[in-house]
Structure 1
Amino acid sequence: MSSSPAAGPTGAFAGFPPAALDFYDDLELDNTRTFWEAHKQAYADHVRAPMLALTEALAPEFGPAKVYRPYRDVRFSKDKTPYKEHQGAIVSTAPATGWYVQVAAPGVRVGAGSYRADGPDLARIRAAIDADHSGRELERILRRLTSAGFEVGGERLKTTPRGWSADHPRIDLLRHKSLFVGRHYGFEPFVHTPELLDHVRDDWRQLRPLVEWLTARVGVLG
């Protein structure tokens, strides 16, 4: 693995080194405790440290982030591999809602949205999609973002949600159980440099209207 530094001497964000992506390439092939114990310092230096530096640099504008632990919860999963094959961080503005950034073997991606809505939260989001004013506002937000090169994702029902008509003008949005918008940077050279901070900051700013729309419906964190 490359020994490129994750951060400068003062802890400033310097990009994710190639070794971060190499680490996840190798972990995908050998997701075992033996591999992890042999390479946990590489994870700490090349993955977690730069993610902490990145989120700390973004915090003054967007708020503090939760940098996820690398361990998978396998209690109720058929997949018993012990470690996540990506490192994510979220700045939450409401339950399971906010801005997101991730590094993994395929590179870096950013996004924002509601990643998991429980029953009452999902009902409020769908009610806002149904209402003409707020529903059309969300459509405008998503059109601007897709025109800027973002992609809309999220878990969607294949059928019409209970209580809604299949000919509703926003039925595609009503089918969403989660709704997020993101962009993949992949292996762009800038992900290995301090310039990545500018890209994440600029994209999170563009995503702010979506975050604010969803937060207004889900409710801020207590």
Structure 2
Amino acid sequence: MADFHGFPVAALDFYDDLEMDNTKSFWEAHKGVYNESVKAPMVALTDALAQEFGAAKVFRPYRDVRFAKDKTPYKTHQGAFVGVGPATGWYVEVAAPGVRVGGGVYEASGPHLARLREAMAEEKTGKVVQRILRDLERGGFELAGERLKTVPRGYDKEHPRIELLKMKTVLGMRSYGFEPFVHTAELLDRVREDWRRLRPLVTWLGDAIAE
């Protein structure tokens, strides 16, 4: 297992350039930069975190354009995900804007969304996740996710957690941007600490959605 030394500046520059020239010819000419400056550090980072959090899926760089209007072939970021349940777990990403981390549930529908809302609506479990989210926001995380504009069917608009019940996905995110430490081994400690802070949310969501 290779040691992690941070993402080099070349990784961010690679995605800057890819956003301007998202073509196969650019990719083929710069594939070595991607492998050495993006993929290899991401694998080293997630390998170093695996003992505590589990094995990560390092996403492929290719976009699925079969049903997309946007036919550009390559993703303009490199992400990795450690799952603990259906679409639930921890995330780390490098892209032109820098590095960011997060955790939560990024897709919930049908029975999973129904169970999630039931847990949010229930007095005891709902207050627990409210407290978790409040603590994360106070700790500098951004609460993100897809949200309904209207009240979900079957729930009272006066419910004390109605804004939470409107959420279809729930994510705690933090951006490191261009901070100098993203280019050093210190980034590993930062990601590990933030994933630990996100553990209560990830665990709560995993338990709520589990069948």
What secondary structure is seen at the aligned counterpart in 2 of 1:181?
strand
Q: Does 1:82 align with 2:73?
A: yes
1:190 is aligned to: 181
Match of 1:148 among 139, 145, 161: 139
Mind listing any 5+ residue stretches in structure 2 that lack a counterpart? none
Amino acid corresponding to residue 66 of structure 2 in structure 1: R
* Residues in 1 aligned to 2:146 and 2:187: alpha-carbon distance in whole angstroms: 28
Taking only aligned residues, the RMSD between alpha carbons, in angstroms, comes to 0.9
* SS in structure 1 at match of 2:83: strand
Question: Deviation at 1:105?
Answer: 0.1
The aligned residue for residue 42 of structure 2 is: 51
Residue 118 of structure 1 deviates from its aligned partner by 2.2
How far off its partner does 1:76 sit?
A: 1.1
Give the structure 2 partner of residue 29 of structure 1: 20
TM-score using structure 1 length: 0.94
Looking at structure 2, the residues matched to 52 and 147 of structure 1 have their Cα atoms a distance apart, in angstroms, of 31
Moved over 3 A (4+): none
Q: How many residues align?
A: 211
Match of 2:64, SS state, is: coil
1:14 Cα deviation (Å)? 0.2
What amino acid maps onto 1:22 in structure 2?
D
Q: Percent identity?
A: 65
TM-score (norm 2): 0.98
Q: Flag structure 1 segments of 5+ consecutive residues without an equivalent.
A: 1-9
Work out whether 1:162 is the aligned partner of 2:153.
yes
Partner of 1:200: 191
Most deviating of 59-68 and 166-175: 166-175
Rounded to whole Å, the distance in 2 between the matches of 1:218 and 1:78 is: 32
Q: Which amino acid aligns with 2:177?
A: G
Distance 2:109 2:165 in 1: 15
**CA–CA distance in structure 1, aligned partners of residues 92 and 184 of structure 2:** 16
Give the Cα separation in 1 of the matches to 2:116 and 2:67.
28
Partner of 1:20: 11
- Report the Cα distance in structure 1 between the residues aligned to 2:110 and 2:167, rounded to whole angstroms: 13
